[in-house]
Amino acid sequence: MKKRKLLSVLLATSLSVSLVMPTFAADVTQSEDTANGQVASKEITTREADTEWNVDDFTYEDIQGEDGAGNSAKITGLSDSGKAKRVVNPNLVMPNETKDGKTITAIADATGTDSYGLFGAENELLTSVILPEKIETIGNFSFRNCGLEEINFPETLTTIGQAAFQTNKLKNIILPDSVTTVGGGAFASNFALEKVKISKGMTVIPATFVGCIGVNIAPSFKEIEIPEGITTIDSNAFVGNSFEKVEIPKTVTQIKGSAFMQSDQHRTLKDVVLHEGLTSIGSSAFSYTLVKKIKIPSTVTTLNKAAFNFCAIDGEKVKIYAYDKKQVGSTTKFISESDNHTTVYALTEEISRAESLNEGDYKKADWVALCTKLEAAKAIDAKEDATVEEIRQASDDLEATIDALEKKSISKVTVSPKSLSEKGGEVQVTVEGNLDENVWYVLQKKEADGSYTSVDGDVKKAGVTFSLTIPENTEKKEVTYVLKVKDREPEANADNSGYNWDGATEATITVAAIPEEPTKPTKPADPSKPTNPSEPTDSSKPSGSNDPTVSTVKVSKINLSAISKKVAAGKKIKMLVSVAPSNASNKTVEWKTSNSKYATVNQSGVVSTKKAGAGKTVTVTATAKDGSGIKASYRLSILKDFVKSIKLKAKKTVKAGKSLKVKATVKTTGKKVNKKLKWTSSNEKYATVSSKGVVKAKKAGKGKTVRITAASTDGSNKKKVIKIKIK
């Protein structure tokens, strides 16, 4: 606050006159002459006198007490000198007393037609105001549209009038607990708002309290803490907010119309927590929010049909979880079903969720914990006299257990060494991830045509660490083996042509080529020994099928796989084929589909789905061309909709040795779509990424940056990359 200057007191020789000086809200200070120890008043320059606010810059009116005496006063506006000063000093400082020593306890009302309240004017706005230190009441419209950016409220304040601070630029509104009454629209349309503290002395948050109505919103107003003691949140109280989460206190009984409404262009509110004691939720109370699920107290008897208007994005209604079965059926006041929301009984909903899960997807310990909670929930559901609290507890416990489940997954497969000499040898395998004690794997050899053949069986079971013996190389070129690992036993293909290794985590092992023997020098012909022209040369020997050293090896097995079994209509997907044995003479295959109206396949194994196939399934078949008759099939589901875009959100940095979750938002053309993503890291030496987007930074990556990619698997070829710095 500004420092006030102490005016020198003039002393008369024969008469000591004490002048009555009004104090201001700003502190009064004096400058000390350190040389002689005397306090000296600082000279006031003409410029300072012209710009500093004083008691003469305001107009006043006495406040009559019950005894008729006027012991206090209220400020009614600016005097002519104050209006002139407003032009050069927008930081208003109000006096604590009038000239005649009366305490200022109020600021008068302005009229609704006063466009700039009592203290502003067109092109002459304020920046801040320091109120009288014993202020109790601020009148209606008094600081309306004044341009205020900053204000502090004294702890004597009890009442703020209607629209008192409407349409300003306030960032922080901190109401002392002495405030008991706030008028409607008191702080409306402060679009720069960031923080609001509500007084514990209030019981009602008034209509349009800090509401930002219209196309505008308060983009930085992201948090609100509503204190216990509030009973009513009135209409439009927080309209135009940017909240992400709101918890309504237990004392609140009413949430009125549009109280937390957002806008179609600005939806941020996802999480709303309500408590027992709430009785009614009004029209559009949570309109245009991102709320998808909300737990409603059993005490709510009034639910407006438009409470969640315009929240059903892409046809997905807000799901209201009720703990009282009576709330599932609509009454005249409680509308359980509308175009935007649907009400379900929480306990049976969670039981159904639990029963829909697949045991094989989770670790044994997690599954046992889930089953325990499920049985407890079923017991409460069967209990005829179960209380609302018992139902809520059982439902919430089961929900929390389900939500905490993490599917088994492999984050990384490490092979050491990754390269071997032509002799082959043993390698050590370590599998990391959210796993039980066992994994399943297959070792496949990559053939020259790009196909794969299994080595030593199609499926093996092992612990999370195991050893592999890689065969000796018998070829004059480097051989590549691919190790595919799954966290569960793979399913056999429908036609028994092998096993489905879709989604397996892979690692490669290379075996060096056989070194070529040095060429022996050719001895010159001995001229003393004549050649025998009748002796046949190698080139004159019979060739082809008559040569007993030449044999044909037929194909015995074909395996097919793809990045996904669910493909969007009108998109393409590449089939992968492996042929056994590895030394088959002819490994080429012929491709075809079961219905060319729905999908076609070229001879490179690229499947092109058609829009006419939406909702249909097709079978892709590969048949060996060597006449063996061996074939394999792969069934694809064609989905109507496809992935339009992928957005990734995560912190930009992560500490080495720590993990962070990359949140993916997949935008699609509809609900019938494959939203599964394939996650990859640009350098697994520095960081790995799980199938759920969990990035694990390694100590070796400290100071490095990795690129994490999420790619669609529905054939739409959409992908998004995010860079993460390892600290």
pLDDT at residue 547, as a whole number: 47
pLDDT at residue 517, as a whole number: 67
Q: Report pLDDT digits (tens) over 201-229.
A: 999 999 999 987 655 689 999 989 899 99
pLDDT at residue 520, as a whole number: 59
* Predicted structure pTM score: 0.60
3-state SS class at 426:
strand
Burial of 695 (0-12, 13-18, 19+ CB in 10 A): buried
- CA nearest neighbour of 196 among 205, 1, 178, 204: 205
CA gap 676, 247 in Å, rounded:
33
CA gap 209, 60 in Å, rounded:
28
pLDDT at residue 11, as a whole number: 32
CA gap 602, 616 in Å, rounded:
20
Q: Report pLDDT digits (tens) over 630-674.
A: 999 999 999 989 998 999 999 889 989 888 899 999 999 988 899
pLDDT at residue 207, as a whole number: 93
Residue 655 in tokens: 């500490």
CA gap 641, 670 in Å, rounded:
5
pLDDT at residue 97, as a whole number: 96
**617 conformational bin, left if phi > 0, alpha if psi -120 to 50, beta if neither:** beta
pLDDT at residue 493, as a whole number: 79
pLDDT at residue 61, as a whole number: 95
- CA nearest neighbour of 617 among 635, 601, 605: 635
CA gap 697, 660 in Å, rounded:
8
CA gap 87, 51 in Å, rounded:
9
pLDDT at residue 21, as a whole number: 44
Cβ neighbours, 10 Å, residue 78 = 20
Low-confidence ranges of the chain (pLDDT < 50): 1-21, 27-49, 533-549
pLDDT at residue 287, as a whole number: 96
Cβ neighbours, 10 Å, residue 279 = 14
